[in-house]
Protein backbone atom coordinates (compact mmCIF):
# COMPACT_ATOMS: atom_id res chain seq x y z
CA UNK A 1 0.00 0.00 0.00
CA UNK A 2 1.43 3.35 -0.98
CA UNK A 3 1.64 6.34 1.31
CA UNK A 4 -0.92 8.19 -0.79
CA UNK A 5 -3.42 5.34 -0.53
CA UNK A 6 -2.86 5.12 3.21
CA UNK A 7 -3.44 8.87 3.61
CA UNK A 8 -6.65 8.70 1.56
CA UNK A 9 -7.92 5.81 3.69
CA UNK A 10 -7.06 7.64 6.92
CA UNK A 11 -8.83 10.81 5.76
CA UNK A 12 -11.88 8.78 4.68
CA UNK A 13 -11.96 6.98 8.06
CA UNK A 14 -11.69 10.31 9.90
CA UNK A 15 -14.54 11.74 7.82
CA UNK A 16 -16.74 8.70 8.59
CA UNK A 17 -16.08 8.98 12.32
CA UNK A 18 -16.79 12.71 12.24
CA UNK A 19 -20.03 12.14 10.35
CA UNK A 20 -21.14 9.47 12.85
CA UNK A 21 -20.46 11.82 15.77
CA UNK A 22 -22.34 14.67 14.10
CA UNK A 23 -25.37 12.44 13.46
CA UNK A 24 -25.37 11.29 17.11
CA UNK A 25 -25.07 14.86 18.40
CA UNK A 26 -27.89 16.00 16.11
CA UNK A 27 -30.11 13.21 17.42
CA UNK A 28 -29.45 14.22 21.03
CA UNK A 29 -30.08 17.89 20.23
CA UNK A 30 -33.38 16.98 18.59
CA UNK A 31 -34.41 14.92 21.65
CA UNK A 32 -33.55 17.83 23.96
CA UNK A 33 -35.49 20.31 21.81
CA UNK A 34 -38.54 18.21 20.95
CA UNK A 35 -38.58 15.32 23.43
CA UNK A 36 -41.43 14.83 25.84
CA UNK A 37 -40.77 15.82 29.48
CA UNK A 38 -41.05 12.80 31.80
CA UNK A 39 -40.40 12.82 35.56
CA UNK A 40 -39.05 9.60 37.08
CA UNK A 41 -38.79 9.11 40.84
CA UNK A 42 -35.23 8.80 42.16
CA UNK A 43 -33.67 6.52 44.70
CA UNK A 44 -30.34 8.39 45.30
CA UNK A 45 -27.39 6.22 46.28
CA UNK A 46 -24.23 8.23 46.96
CA UNK A 47 -23.72 11.98 46.55
CA UNK A 48 -19.97 12.24 45.86
CA UNK A 49 -16.96 10.71 44.20
CA UNK A 50 -13.48 11.92 45.03
CA UNK A 51 -12.00 10.49 41.83
CA UNK A 52 -14.55 11.88 39.36
CA UNK A 53 -15.58 15.15 40.96
CA UNK A 54 -18.98 15.90 42.40
CA UNK A 55 -21.86 13.74 41.30
CA UNK A 56 -24.92 11.97 42.61
CA UNK A 57 -25.12 8.24 41.94
CA UNK A 58 -28.65 7.48 40.82
CA UNK A 59 -31.09 4.64 40.86
CA UNK A 60 -34.68 5.06 39.77
CA UNK A 61 -37.74 3.64 41.52
CA UNK A 62 -38.83 2.12 38.21
CA UNK A 63 -35.48 0.24 38.09
CA UNK A 64 -36.55 -1.57 41.26
CA UNK A 65 -39.75 -2.67 39.51
CA UNK A 66 -37.70 -3.83 36.50
CA UNK A 67 -35.52 -5.89 38.84
CA UNK A 68 -38.60 -7.48 40.40
CA UNK A 69 -39.97 -8.37 36.95
CA UNK A 70 -36.60 -9.87 35.99
CA UNK A 71 -36.79 -12.14 39.04
CA UNK A 72 -40.43 -13.05 38.22
CA UNK A 73 -39.54 -13.87 34.63
CA UNK A 74 -36.59 -15.99 35.74
CA UNK A 75 -34.48 -14.40 33.00
CA UNK A 76 -31.95 -11.57 33.21
CA UNK A 77 -33.20 -10.19 29.87
CA UNK A 78 -36.28 -7.96 29.75
CA UNK A 79 -38.08 -6.53 26.72
CA UNK A 80 -36.44 -3.47 25.16
CA UNK A 81 -38.89 -0.79 26.38
CA UNK A 82 -40.52 0.27 29.63
CA UNK A 83 -43.92 1.79 28.87
CA UNK A 84 -44.63 4.49 31.42
CA UNK A 85 -47.99 5.93 32.48
CA UNK A 86 -47.82 9.69 33.11
CA UNK A 87 -49.95 11.70 35.48
CA UNK A 88 -51.03 15.30 34.82
CA UNK A 89 -47.68 16.65 36.06
CA UNK A 90 -45.59 14.24 33.98
CA UNK A 91 -44.67 11.84 36.82
CA UNK A 92 -44.12 8.33 35.51
CA UNK A 93 -45.06 4.90 36.80
CA UNK A 94 -44.32 1.60 35.09
CA UNK A 95 -47.36 0.39 33.11
CA UNK A 96 -45.92 -2.49 31.08
CA UNK A 97 -42.91 -3.82 29.19
CA UNK A 98 -42.75 -4.04 25.41
CA UNK A 99 -40.43 -5.14 22.61
CA UNK A 100 -41.27 -2.01 20.58
CA UNK A 101 -42.41 1.49 21.47
CA UNK A 102 -46.23 1.63 21.46
CA UNK A 103 -48.15 4.10 19.33
CA UNK A 104 -48.15 7.63 20.67
CA UNK A 105 -50.63 8.21 23.48
CA UNK A 106 -51.31 11.31 25.55
CA UNK A 107 -50.60 9.70 28.92
CA UNK A 108 -47.99 7.10 27.94
CA UNK A 109 -44.37 7.13 26.83
CA UNK A 110 -41.80 4.40 26.19
CA UNK A 111 -38.21 4.54 27.42
CA UNK A 112 -35.46 2.16 26.33
CA UNK A 113 -34.28 -0.29 28.99
CA UNK A 114 -30.50 -0.43 29.36
CA UNK A 115 -28.49 -3.33 30.74
CA UNK A 116 -25.57 -2.25 32.93
CA UNK A 117 -23.56 -4.50 35.23
CA UNK A 118 -26.22 -7.19 35.06
CA UNK A 119 -29.04 -4.84 36.07
CA UNK A 120 -31.80 -3.19 34.04
CA UNK A 121 -32.27 0.58 34.14
CA UNK A 122 -34.14 3.29 32.26
CA UNK A 123 -31.60 6.02 32.95
CA UNK A 124 -28.00 6.89 33.73
CA UNK A 125 -26.36 5.80 36.96
CA UNK A 126 -24.99 9.26 37.83
CA UNK A 127 -25.75 12.97 37.56
CA UNK A 128 -22.63 15.16 37.50
CA UNK A 129 -22.65 18.72 38.76
CA UNK A 130 -20.20 21.55 39.25
CA UNK A 131 -17.75 21.05 42.11
CA UNK A 132 -18.88 22.73 45.30
CA UNK A 133 -22.60 22.76 44.41
CA UNK A 134 -23.61 19.44 46.03
CA UNK A 135 -25.93 21.17 48.51
CA UNK A 136 -28.14 22.30 45.60
CA UNK A 137 -28.94 18.66 44.79
CA UNK A 138 -29.46 17.08 48.21
CA UNK A 139 -33.25 17.50 47.93
CA UNK A 140 -33.42 15.61 44.60
CA UNK A 141 -36.42 13.26 44.40
CA UNK A 142 -37.18 13.23 40.67
CA UNK A 143 -35.18 13.00 37.45
CA UNK A 144 -36.41 15.09 34.52
CA UNK A 145 -35.94 13.36 31.18
CA UNK A 146 -36.55 14.41 27.61
CA UNK A 147 -37.84 11.36 25.74
CA UNK A 148 -37.92 10.95 21.95
CA UNK A 149 -40.62 8.89 20.20
CA UNK A 150 -38.06 6.09 19.63
CA UNK A 151 -37.54 5.70 23.41
CA UNK A 152 -34.24 7.54 23.64
CA UNK A 153 -34.21 9.37 26.98
CA UNK A 154 -31.81 12.07 28.18
CA UNK A 155 -31.66 13.13 31.84
CA UNK A 156 -31.74 16.93 31.80
CA UNK A 157 -32.44 18.07 35.39
CA UNK A 158 -33.09 16.92 38.92
CA UNK A 159 -36.20 18.09 40.78
CA UNK A 160 -37.24 18.19 44.44
CA UNK A 161 -40.37 16.71 46.06
CA UNK A 162 -42.41 19.74 44.92
CA UNK A 163 -41.13 19.17 41.34
CA UNK A 164 -39.02 22.35 41.33
CA UNK A 165 -35.82 22.17 39.28
CA UNK A 166 -32.64 22.00 41.33
CA UNK A 167 -29.25 23.48 40.56
CA UNK A 168 -27.36 26.67 40.18
CA UNK A 169 -29.09 29.37 38.16
CA UNK A 170 -26.87 30.59 35.32
CA UNK A 171 -25.45 34.05 35.99
pLDDT tens by residue, 85-131: 999 999 999 998 888 887 777 789 999 998 887 788 999 988 888 88
d(CA 127, CA 45): 11
Q: Label residue 169 by pLDDT band (50, 70, 90).
A: low
Q: What is the pLDDT of residues 120-144, one digit of tens each?
A: 899 998 888 888 887 888 888 999 9
DSSP 36-71: EEEEEEB---EEEETTTEEEEE--BHHHHHHHHHHH
Nearest CA among 137, 37, 130, 26 for reference residue 88: 37
Neighbours of 171 (CB within 10 A): 3
pLDDT at 171: 40
Give the residue, 167 or 61, on which the prediction is more confident.
Answer: 61
CA distances from 143 to 115, 124, 132, 158 (A): 19, 10, 21, 5
Q: What is the pLDDT of residues 8-53, one digit of tens each?
A: 889 889 999 999 888 888 887 887 778 888 889 887 565 555 445 6
Q: Label residue 60 by pLDDT band (50, 70, 90).
A: very high
User: Is 82 a residue whose pLDDT tops 60?
Assistant: yes
pTM value is: 0.76
Q: What is the pLDDT of residues 142-167, one digit of tens each?
A: 999 999 989 999 999 999 999 999 88
d(CA 78, CA 107): 23
Amino acid sequence: MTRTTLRVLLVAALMLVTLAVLVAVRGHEQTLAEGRVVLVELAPVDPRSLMQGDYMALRFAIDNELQARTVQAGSPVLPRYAVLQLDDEGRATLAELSESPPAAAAARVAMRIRQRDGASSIGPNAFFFEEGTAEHYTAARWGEFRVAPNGQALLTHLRDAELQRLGVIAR
